[in-house]
Structure 1
Amino acid sequence: MSASILLIVGVAMFVFGYFVYSRFVAKYILKLDDKNITPAHEFRDEIDYVPASKFVLWGHHFTAVAGAAPIVGPAIAVQWGWLPAFLWVVLGTVFFAGIHDMSALWASVKNQGKSIGNVCQKVIGTKIGQLFMVVIFLVLLMVNAAFGVIIAKESVEYPTTIIPAWGAILIALLMGQAIYRFKMNLALVTIVAVVLLYILVPIGVAYPVNLPENIAGLDSLRQWVVILFIYAGIASILPVWMLLQPRDYVNGVQLVIGLFLLYGSIVIINPTVLAPDIIPAIKAGDYSLIIPVLFITIACGAISGFHGIVASGTTSKQINKEGDVRFVGYLGAVGEGSLALGTIIACVAGVGLLSMNAGLNPETWTSLFKPGAGNFASGGGAIVANATGLSFEAASTLFSLMLILFAATTMDAGIRLQRYIIQEWGEIYKIPFLRKNVIATILAVGISFIMAMNGIGEGGKNEVAIWPLFGATNQILASLTLLTIAVILIKNKKIGGSLVVLVPLVFILIMAFWGALIKVFEFYNQGNWLLFVIDILVLIVTILVVLSALSTISKTLSNNK
């Protein structure tokens, strides 16, 4: 089968989603209106509340939510065949992720830019909302820990990415000054920033950076983890306009360029999909291999609760006009779905292309394929190298750089959001020192760092185990966010309109709860008590929030009669 067919069908569905489905929801259900003042203007403080261009904000939001997950998840899921992964990414993006992200952003903008947990407290109940915040905090903890290790591993495996990846920080700092202090033209600044970033790529290839094998008992992988969390802590307390926003924006631009390069290369060489559509074991009837695990393996790229955290945590505070909610929220989900689609094709066609280049039989794809994010860099690099004449090393460096930059921007946002939650807890429980930026940041960084280092320990068993738990918890969070949105719509007497969130809510809640329940028994049998306790806690909170929300909906419907 031709990879171009997957590309055309996927992109056509994304176009339908944005130009038709999201427009309908925005106009008739959410009723977005540019006349309404947004929190960015109402509470402007030049630190967190800062109105931004919808294009800049899309770049910030998209790269903050994308991270490594829409690469890692599909790169694991295609081991069961390309068809299930493809269908879940495409349909999930259009009918699940886009609506989830746009409505979460809308709910926050309508509530002073407050977090989705805070909104939950308001519409469902204070105690339940506080429990919801616990789930949010646990998701952020797992995101920061997992992505910290992923970036560290990529830094060790692809030392050619170090100079461009860290050079991107300096470029973003200069870009922030140029846009906000010197009021320079955005298009001009964007072109200069992207050109500088790509100039650093061949420099990185020529001068790879390898850390010493051992410093103070830490191998190079652990050294990178230490460096990354120190950086993330510093970045999280800087004003968003100074680093976070411009860095995310330029990363978003380079992702668009990277995807156009990958998609264009696919069209040019039209590689063959060598992976099976569905592996024989599943065709034979063993559906337990894929249900519910597919839906918690591919989270970002189909639907992700983390998106709601970012949308209501940082993005909502920067929305310039209410109408920008659709552009930033829904199109951000489409961007991530496009990345997941590109990852699928890179894995199922690019890895096979790489095998043929090595003189291997492409029919051995199933035995050759090893699930993991590295396939995005190698498979994507093989496709682009064959289409453009670039060296495989340069092409694979480009895609590895994309992976590192996305994961890093997600860590930046994740640590900042953890700080917000710790500060909210300090306010709720009257603990003054928790409200301080530095103290809250140190706690956020410290907890995530400990979990990351624990994941590397014992051969990385926890890091491997954390991914499906992260996926299940992430999807549960998405369902709870949709549940909160449904309550808001029902309270506003939009019962029919609430179906656009209720349908994906019910499906993903069942799949995610089922997946998390399976993991409880696995963690118990493995003696992995840390993840066992986290999983149990998530399941208990989920039951309490759902029951409370159903009670609220029942009372609302009774009052509306």
Structure 2
Amino acid sequence: MSPVLLMVIGLAILALGYLVYSKYLAKRVYRLNDEFRTPSHELRDGVDYVPTNKFILWGHHFTSVAGAAPIVGPAVALIWGWVPAFLWVTLGTVFFAGMHDFGALWASVRNKGQSIGALSGRYIGKRGAGLFLIVIFILLLMVIAAFAVVITGLLISTPTAVIPTWGAIGVALLVGVAVYRLRMPLVAVTIVGVIALYGLIVLGDAVPVVLPETFLGMTPTVFWILTLFIYGAFASLLPVWVLLQPRDYINGVQLFIGLILLYGAVVVGMFVADGAHDIVTPAINMNVPEGTPSIVPLLFVTIACGAISGFHGMVSSGTSSKQLDKETDSRFVGYFGAVGEGLLALGTIIAISAGLRTVAEWQELYSKFGEAGVQSFVQGGGMLMESGLGLPASLSTTVLATMAVLFAATSLDTGFRLMRFVVQEMGERVNLRIGKYTATGVVVVLGMGLTFSQGLGGEGGLRIWPLFGTTNQLMASLTLMILAVMLIRKRRNPWPALIPLAIVFVMSFWAAIDQLFSFATPGSADWLLFAIDCIIIVSSVFVAIEGIRAIIRARSDPPEPEDADEKLEAVREEV
């Protein structure tokens, strides 16, 4: 199979999804209307609620939901072959992730920017909402702890990425001031910002930063993890326009440039002697290594981000909905944000599949389930860019490593902000008012406690990561459940939500049960993961029961009154 043909087919599917299916959702299902007053205007406070240019907001949303997961998931899933990974990424993005992310953003905007957790109380019931928050809390804790460890690993293994990683913060601060205080044109600011960012990448490649074995009395691992937690805490408290928005926007532009370079290397490589070649990865691998789980249901939870992810719903309803300027912008921000992540996941599949030169290389990399990851993407993509575009190997690696680090970092600081909201919301449920500084302190303590729970090497940060896939997908199914109830109440077509809901819930619940047995295997039992998995399963079952009851009630209850602007739009459609 030619990687160029695979790329063209993948890009065509994703393009059709945005141009055709998202348009149907916007007009017929969600019925977007510019006359609706969004929360960013109604509740504007200059900190969390800020009307934002849709391109800047897309950058924030996209890079926040991307992180390292759309790289890690597809990289691991290639052990079953490139065909299953390719199909789940492309079709999942179009019919699952796009609908889910777009819908979560729309639902929150229509409810004064409330989070998915808060919406569950209104549309599913108070009993289900409390359990829903437990799932959200566990998922965010996983993201914060694990991403801190992943970023630390990349900063240590790829020291050329250190300068651009931290220099990007300075660039973002300047971009924020230029756009919001000096009112400079966005295009000009973007060009200067991207040039500055890539200048930092070139500088980082020339000046790698390698910390000594002991730095300020700490190992490099401890130092970077602590630094990331301090950064995350401050970033979550700053007004979104100061750092969060401009940082994520510039990172989003940088990602697309990186993807253009990666995809361009594949195309140009056809005409270069040592360039792109036929994919050596098996289309469907029937000889998986011993210990590899079954492709069904594990494929559907191994590739979460890049196909569908519950974390996206939290970002859509947690930060993005509070910054949406016009309701019609939600199609571009939500659905195209999912498409952007699909492009990253597709790029990962191509980078590793086409970057490997021989079957022996592939077999060595995939000799054990879970061995491949971000580093495989960096190395495979680096080889493609070196052979196809003639970029030095070190610079190619630095570009991709920086891209991976910056995405993980944006998910980290967004995760901090979201978890702060969740802690405050949980406090309200027990009549306890928690300030944002106290809530942020709780997040730092819990996150660092988990990260260092098994030693100063940060192993604890990945302690409960094996549960991320199932928890994330169960969260996605519960979000789809809320969307289905809303659509039924409004007497709109609920099937775009119900079909993905059924598939994702069955697969993720099946995977959770499979994992439960594996955690209790004699001789290798992990009772902590067993206990957490039990909590997640029980919570999901009760929320699902409450959700089914809500769907049944919604079908028999009188139609939900439409807002004046919705009535006006309905009349226009009839005319």
Give the alignment's TM-score, normalised by structure 2.
Answer: 0.92
Any idea what the Cα deviations from partners look like across 1:426-463, whole Å, max 9, x if unmatched? Answer: 2222223x2x1111001112211222223667894x65
Deviation for aligned residue 1:363: 4.5
Deviation for aligned residue 1:413: 0.2
Distance in 2 (CA, whole Å) between partners of 1:504 and 1:376 is 29
Find the partner of 1:473 among 461, 471, 474: 471
Partner of 1:510 in structure 2? Answer: 506
Superposition pairs of residues 176-187 of structure 1, within 5 angstroms: 176-187=176-187
Find the partner of 1:344 among 349, 352, 368: 349
Deviation for aligned residue 1:106: 0.3
Partner of 2:36 in structure 1? Answer: 36
Deviation for aligned residue 1:367: 2.4
Any idea what the Cα deviations from partners look like across 1:95-134, whole Å, max 9, x if unmatched? Answer: 0000000000000000000001111111111221122111
**The residue matched to 2:400 in structure 1 has which SS?**
helix
Any idea what the Cα deviations from partners look like across 1:475-515, whole Å, max 9, x if unmatched? Answer: 00000000010011111122xx1000100100010110111
Partner of 1:448 in structure 2? Answer: 447
Partner of 1:358 in structure 2? Answer: none
Deviation for aligned residue 1:470: 0.3
Partner of 1:391 in structure 2? Answer: 392
Deviation for aligned residue 1:183: 0.8
Instruction: Give yes or no for contact 1:70–1:301 (8 Å, CA) kept in 2.
Output: yes
2:301 paired with 1:296: yes
Deviation for aligned residue 1:137: 1.1
Distance in 1 (CA, whole Å) between partners of 2:209 and 2:13 is 41
Any idea what the Cα deviations from partners look like across 1:192-249, whole Å, max 9, x if unmatched? Answer: 1110010111211121112221357743222211111111111110110000000000
Deviation for aligned residue 1:321: 0.4
Partner of 1:9 in structure 2? Answer: 9
Any idea what the Cα deviations from partners look like across 1:154-212, whole Å, max 9, x if unmatched? Answer: 01000000001100001001111111111111111111111001011121112111222
Superposition pairs of residues 239-250 of structure 1, within 5 angstroms: 239-250=239-250
Deviation for aligned residue 1:274: 1.1
Instruction: Give yes or no for contact 2:123–2:482 (8 Å, CA) kept in 1.
Output: yes
Q: 1:533 to 1:5 in 2, by over 3 A?
A: same
Q: 1:19 to 1:455 in 2, by over 3 A?
A: farther
Distance in 2 (CA, whole Å) between partners of 1:459 and 1:189 is 38
Deviating more after overlay: 416-425 vs 245-254: 416-425
Distance in 1 (CA, whole Å) between partners of 2:314 and 2:139 is 9
Superposition pairs of residues 405-444 of structure 1, within 5 angstroms: 405-432=406-433, 434=434, 436-444=435-443
2:280 paired with 1:281: no
Deviating more after overlay: 267-276 vs 409-418: 267-276
**The residue matched to 2:464 in structure 1 has which SS?**
helix
Superposition pairs of residues 149-548 of structure 1, within 5 angstroms: 149-215=149-215, 218-270=218-270, 271=276, 272-281=278-287, 289-352=294-357, 361-369=358-366, 370-432=371-433, 434=434, 436-454=435-453, 460=459, 466-494=464-492, 497-525=493-521, 526-548=524-546
Instruction: Give yes or no for contact 1:423–1:440 (8 Å, CA) kept in 2.
Output: yes
Deviation for aligned residue 1:307: 0.2
Deviation for aligned residue 1:366: 1.7
Instruction: Give yes or no for contact 2:61–2:337 (8 Å, CA) kept in 1.
Output: yes
Instruction: Give yes or no for contact 2:148–2:461 (8 Å, CA) kept in 1.
Output: no
**The residue matched to 2:287 in structure 1 has which SS?**
helix
**The residue matched to 1:263 in structure 2 has which SS?**
helix
Instruction: Give yes or no for contact 1:296–1:468 (8 Å, CA) kept in 2.
Output: no
**The residue matched to 1:273 in structure 2 has which SS?**
coil
Give, as a single letter, the amino acid of the residue that structure 2 aligns with 1:452: T
Any idea what the Cα deviations from partners look like across 1:272-296, whole Å, max 9, x if unmatched? Answer: 211111112379xx99521111111
**The residue matched to 1:454 in structure 2 has which SS?**
coil
Q: 1:176 to 1:454 in 2, by over 3 A?
A: same
Instruction: Give yes or no for contact 1:297–1:468 (8 Å, CA) kept in 2.
Output: no
Deviation for aligned residue 1:518: 1.4
Greater share of helix? 1
Deviation for aligned residue 1:522: 2.0
Partner of 2:551 in structure 1? Answer: 553
Deviating more after overlay: 465-474 vs 395-404: 465-474
Q: 1:396 to 1:282 in 2, by over 3 A?
A: closer
Distance in 2 (CA, whole Å) between partners of 1:115 and 1:534 is 23
Deviation for aligned residue 1:393: 0.5
Deviating more after overlay: 207-216 vs 384-393: 207-216
Distance in 1 (CA, whole Å) between partners of 2:419 and 2:411 is 12
Percent of paired sites with the same residue: 49
Deviation for aligned residue 1:368: 3.9
Give, as a single letter, the amino acid of the residue that structure 2 aligns with 1:515: A
Distance in 2 (CA, whole Å) between partners of 1:48 and 1:310 is 13
Instruction: Give yes or no for contact 2:79–2:288 (8 Å, CA) kept in 1.
Output: no
Q: 1:223 to 1:501 in 2, by over 3 A?
A: same
Instruction: Give yes or no for contact 2:145–2:462 (8 Å, CA) kept in 1.
Output: no
Partner of 1:357 in structure 2? Answer: none
Instruction: Give yes or no for contact 1:456–1:463 (8 Å, CA) kept in 2.
Output: no
Instruction: Give yes or no for contact 2:281–2:359 (8 Å, CA) kept in 1.
Output: no
**The residue matched to 1:413 in structure 2 has which SS?**
helix
Instruction: Give yes or no for contact 2:34–2:326 (8 Å, CA) kept in 1.
Output: yes
Instruction: Give yes or no for contact 2:176–2:243 (8 Å, CA) kept in 1.
Output: yes
Structure 2: 5+ residue stretches without partners? 271-275, 560-575
Partner of 2:569 in structure 1? Answer: none
Give, as a single letter, the amino acid of the residue that structure 2 aligns with 1:89: V
Instruction: Give yes or no for contact 2:201–2:398 (8 Å, CA) kept in 1.
Output: yes
Give, as a single letter, the amino acid of the residue that structure 2 aligns with 1:449: M
Q: CA-atom RMSD, angstroms?
A: 1.9
Deviation for aligned residue 1:364: 4.1
Distance in 2 (CA, whole Å) between partners of 1:223 and 1:300 is 29
Give, as a single letter, the amino acid of the residue that structure 1 aligns with 2:19: F
Distance in 2 (CA, whole Å) between partners of 1:450 and 1:406 is 24
Give, as a single letter, the amino acid of the residue that structure 1 aligns with 2:512: A
Instruction: Give yes or no for contact 2:378–2:401 (8 Å, CA) kept in 1.
Output: yes
Deviation for aligned residue 1:251: 0.1
Give, as a single letter, the amino acid of the residue that structure 2 aligns with 1:140: L
Distance in 2 (CA, whole Å) between partners of 1:190 and 1:541 is 44
Any idea what the Cα deviations from partners look like across 1:336-360, whole Å, max 9, x if unmatched? Answer: 00000000111111133xxxxxxxx
Partner of 2:564 in structure 1? Answer: none
Give the alignment's TM-score, normalised by structure 1.
Answer: 0.94
2:120 paired with 1:124: no
Instruction: Give yes or no for contact 1:82–1:348 (8 Å, CA) kept in 2.
Output: yes
Distance in 2 (CA, whole Å) between partners of 1:508 and 1:57 is 28
